[in-house]
Amino acid sequence: MSRIAIQDLKRWKQESHRWVCLTSYDAPSARVLAAAEVPVVLVGDSLGNVILGHGSTVPVTMDDMVRHTAAVRRGAPDLFVVGDMPFLAAQISDEEAVRNAGRLIQQGGADAVKLEGGGPRVSTVQRIVEAGIPVMGHLGLTPQNATQLGGYRVQGSDPQDALRIAEDARALEQAGAFAIVLECVPVELAATITRVATVPIIGIGAGPDVDAQVLVYHDLVGWSGDFKPRFVRRYARVEETMIEAVRSFQQDVARGDFPCESESFSGSQESTSAEDFPDDLQPEQERQTSG
């Protein structure tokens, strides 16, 4: 498939064509998403939890994001790739935010960047867009400041909070964001924002009335241990399959069934003989004989 353009995503919204976005953190998973013709791939800072084993996304650095974004680009050269701006990549100054966003484009090969938050982040989004870099917004539950939000919980449940999120969505759109992720917000709020927005709204834990859905690839295929948020539907049990494969390998080795003849190399007259090896690599008996 040819690479999706931002104009295609906006047209899909007008046509009520729903689409998906999935996370990817490395070349092998990107290759799977490319084969499945997933239109948009997000290299999320969730790699901190999913790949690097951290308890949150906060420890993820710009170097981490550039490295993993580049790996995804190599695995899926024709997909539309969005690189996440990690913690403190955009908060210190707009100038540094533009510079970091540029790294994801220049060094990581991303087509666009994603930036968490509204309010003070709106002017940052505008500055990055003015620099010629497409920006995807992210509102609702923003994991980088989950502590401020009272933990990983639904946002926008009370009228004042819902109004703030709706106003932030409008401000991000006016600042030039080409799409907005809504994470863990009530169905009604997501539906209202989707209805009035002119840019695609991508939901995760935001109900069915959005323009697109995003999930973590590892959650989707059952490769995330016991972690299973309410909004995740598992379509496979990959981790269970992997465990069984490793167990079977160990059993075959213990029984002497691996490797078999077809998995081994046979000798021939033209093959290397023991005499071709240096003395220190020859069996002890042969070294004594040759001496």
Residue at 150: amino acid letter? G
Q: Which residue has the tokens 């100038």?
A: 95
Report how far residue 250's alpha carbon sits from residue 9's, in angstroms, rounded to the nearest whole number: 48
3-state SS class at 180: strand
**CB–CB of 241/253 below 8 Å?**
no
Residue at 76: amino acid letter? A
Indicate if 183 belongs to the active site.
yes
* Of 15, 116, 173, 183, catalytic: 183
How many other β-carbons are positioned within 10 Å of the β-carbon of residue 205?
Answer: 22
In 3D space, the residue among 181, 88, 99, 110 whose CA is nearest the CA of residue 139 turns out to be 181
Structure token digits, residue 188: 């009604």
- Which residues, 6 or more positions from 291, have their beta carbon under 8 angstroms from its beta carbon? none
DSSP result, 133-197: --EEEEEES-GGGTTTTTSS-----SHHHHHHHHHHHHHHHHHT-SEEEEES--HHHHHHHHHH-
DSSP assignment, residue 221? Answer: T
Structure token digits, residue 168: 């932030």
3-state SS class at 109: coil
Which residues are the active-site residues? 183
